[in-house]
Every structure is written in C-alpha cells, then in structure tokens.
Amino acid sequence: MNLLEALKQMTVVVADTGDIESIARYTPRDATTNPSLIYAAAQMPQYAKLLNDAIAFAEAETKDKSQRVQACLDKLSVNFGLEILKIVPKRVSTEVDARLSFDTEGTIRKGRRLIGLYEAAGIKRDRILIKTASTWEGIKAGEQLEQEGIHCNLTLLFGFGQAIACAEAKVTLISPFVGRILDWYKKDTGKDYQGAEDPGVQSVTKIYNYYKKFGHKTEVMGASFRNTGEITELAGCDLLTISPNLLAELQAKEGTLTRKLDPAKAQSMDIPKIDMNEKTFRWMLNEETMATEKLSEGIRKFSADLVKLEKYVAQRMHDSGV
C-alpha cells in the first residue's frame, strides 16, 4: 500500500488544484479552488472552452462592460467547478471575491449568486462549498448562508479564535493553513521544524481536539502543506486538501500510517471551553501576531491574484470583441 492509499483509509483526501487532469489522476473525494489556482488554470489551452463559455455567458447577461467582467469571473469559477464535479464524487469549493472579506452582506450576495449559477446548471447545493475568509464578517456571512442551506468553507484560518467562531457559527468546514503557519514561524524564529513540532501541525491538532471534545460538527480540513511530513502528522484529520505534487509524493512511497488525530482520544482530554463573541474573537486574533499577519497577507494575495485574473479575462473579452 502507498501512503496516499493509507491516508484515504482514515482521512478524506481533497485535491487542492484547478487542474482537472490532476484531479482525475489522484481520485480525491472533494476538490478546492481559489483565485490563484483558477488564474493558473485559465491560461492552460486545454481549458480555453471554459473561459470562452464564461465570456459568452457574460455577453448575454449584461451590456455593462464592468459588470460583464464580474459576470465572466463568476461563471468561469463555476465552470471549473462543474468540470471538477464530473470527476469528484462529492463536493467542490468555490471562493468568494477576497475583496469582500470585510463585507458580510456582499459575501452573502456573492454566495447566493454562485449557488444560483450552480443550480442553473443542475447541481444541488449540497455538492458546493462557498469559500470565504475567516474574518468576523466572513464568519457571520457563513452563518447566514448555512441557515439558507448554502454550505461554507471558511478559509485563511490561522488562529484558534477563528476556529472557535466558525464552529459556533455552524459552518460546514474550515481550512486551517498549515504551511503558511510554518512559513511564519520559520521566518520569525530562524528555526526549522519537523514532524509534531511543526507549528502548523500543532495548530490543526489543537483545533481538531477542541472540536471533538465539545461535539462541534464543523469539519476540519488541513490545507496549504509544504511537505508530506505535515500531512502524515495529521493522519486522521477529517479532511486534508493536498496539491498535486504532494499527492504524487504520497502515491510514490510505500508504507503504512499511524493515526495521529482521533476523536475518541480528544473527548477524554482536559480542554477548557471558550465562549465566543465578537469582542473575544477580535482580542484573540489581536493577541496572535502570526494569525493577524497571515490573515491580512492571505486576503491581499488572493485579491492580487483576482485582479490578475480580471485583467486576463478583460483582455480575452476585448480580443473576442465583447
């Protein structure tokens, strides 16, 4: 048995890519996308038809040129999701515009919009996760969308307070960014971290144990890995979303895995419960320098990649005479 097969026996494996061919190769249950991944995939010749379809959709939907670009971006994200859903048996995550990260109502509107496009294509909403940043505003938007039957994946999650707020909002899933946490600590301390000492691994382990201790239904999906060691240290996590290069490494290595995260063990742990509200959330985030910096940086990076995608789409629309 290879390590990927062994991991699948205790954790749901999710492909972290917009490259549909890679998803087909590694047979994950779910898949996630984001503006960075869509930007890269949109430039691949094999996916030109998805962009062309989105351009035609935007042209038919509105005469306003600025609105056409947004309509094209929405449909392009959904088009990639539709292709992915032909391969994965369960769910795909589609991200809301990162520039709405501090806009609860704007995020809710965009979430409804994306779900509407999926439903118009015949996809039931239980196969879609709407991704939004784990800001207070994003979490509140996720709470409202969940009440409407629109399931959410709260991303850019770095702090413990963010995780607790997401669980109390009853969102479907969270994506703690393991590798980006490691990046911050390596830069801050000048140290290298391996195995269970990895700060990203420790963060996800702490969140997982808290959720299982207090019976929270929100799923934990570790994300943004830098190496396979981080992945194997989180064997047993609800889900792990993994890039194609790391999936290939796991698939190429024979061996067995020890389950590191276990709900039964978590329930017997002595863990204090934290009551969450907006003041507590903001204070806990403020006290975690790493979480504050990485959340802001992540929003900026996703926003920058979205601007790149907008410019690329606008140029392609112009070249098409739209």
Nearest Cα to Cα of residue 99 among 148, 137, 140, 143: 137
Write down the catalytic residue from 75, 110, 131, 213: 131
Q: Active-site residue 301, yes or no?
A: no
Number of C-beta neighbours around residue 4 at 10 A? 23
Closest CA to 4 of 189, 48, 30, 13: 13
| Strand ranges for 185-266 from DSSP E | 219-222, 239-242
Q: Are 241 and 219 in contact (CB under 8 A)?
A: no
Contact criterion met (CB below 8 Å) for 227 and 20:
no
| Gap between the terminal Cα atoms of the chain | 52
DSSP element (H, E) containing 12: strand 12-16
* Token code pair at residue 224: 């943004």
Q: Residues 218-248, buried b or exposed e (16+ Cβ, 10 A)?
A: bbbbbbbbbebebbbbbbbbbbbbbbbebbb
Catalytic residues: 131
